[in-house]
Homo-oligomer: A and B are copies of this chain.
Amino acid sequence: MPTPLPDSRISPRFAGLMTFGRYPRLEDTGGPIDWAIYGIPYDTGVTYRPGTRFGPRAIREASQYLKRYSIVHRLDLCDALTMADAGDAPVHPYHPKQTLDAACGFALSLGSDETRTLALGGDHSTAYSNIKAAWTRQGKPSGGLPLLHFDSHLDTVDSVWGEKYGHASPFIRLIEEGVVDPRRMLSVGIKGPLTNGDDLKYAEEHGVAILTHDEWIETGDQPIVDFVRRLEGEAAYCTFDIDCVDPVFAPGTGTPAVGGFTSHEALRLIRAMKGVNLVGADVVEVLPDRDVMGNTALLAAHIAFELLCLDALRRRDG
Which interface class (under 10, 10 to 19, 20 to 34, 35 or more) fits A?
35 or more
- Whether A71 contacts B293 in the complex (CB less than 8 A), given A8-B195, A161-B92, A264-B246, comes out as no
Q: B residues within 8 A CB of A264?
A: 213, 217, 246, 258-260
Q: B residues within 8 A CB of A95?
A: 161-162
Q: Does A29 contact B (CB under 8 A)?
A: no
1/0 contact trace for A23-47 toward B, CB 8 Å?
A: 0010000000000000101011001
- Whether A191 contacts B71 in the complex (CB less than 8 A), given A25-B17, A43-B50, A44-B94, comes out as yes
User: Smallest Cβ distance from A97 to chain B, in angstroms?
Assistant: 11
User: Smallest Cβ distance from A251 to chain B, in angstroms?
Assistant: 4
Q: Does A54 contact B (CB under 8 A)?
A: yes
1/0 contact trace for A1-24 toward B, CB 8 Å?
A: 000000011111111111100000
- Pairwise interchain contact B289-A195, C-beta atoms closer than 8 A: no
- Whether A298 contacts B256 in the complex (CB less than 8 A), given A71-B190, A93-B12, comes out as yes
- Whether A53 contacts B14 in the complex (CB less than 8 A), given A65-B48, A69-B194, A212-B71, comes out as yes
Q: Does A67 contact B (CB under 8 A)?
A: yes
Identical subunits present: 6
Q: Does A109 contact B (CB under 8 A)?
A: no
- Pairwise interchain contact A14-B49, C-beta atoms closer than 8 A: yes
User: Smallest Cβ distance from A105 to chain B, in angstroms?
Assistant: 12
Question: Who on chain B is nearest to A309 by CB?
Answer: B193
User: Once the chains are docked, how many angstroms separate the CA of A266 from the CA of B123?
Assistant: 29
- Whether A71 contacts B14 in the complex (CB less than 8 A), given A246-B262, A264-B259, A267-B258, comes out as no
Question: Who on chain B is nearest to A249 by CB?
Answer: B248
User: Smallest Cβ distance from A78 to chain B, in angstroms?
Assistant: 10
| Contact partner, A14, options B48, B200, B247, Cβ 8 Å | B48
| 25 A–B contacts from the bound complex (CB under 8 Å) | A8-B195, A11-B88, A11-B90, A13-B48, A14-B57, A15-B53, A17-B19, A18-B18, A43-B50, A44-B44, A49-B51, A50-B51, A65-B256, A68-B195, A77-B193, A92-B162, A94-B96, A94-B163, A94-B166, A248-B249, A248-B295, A251-B295, A256-B295, A258-B263, A258-B267
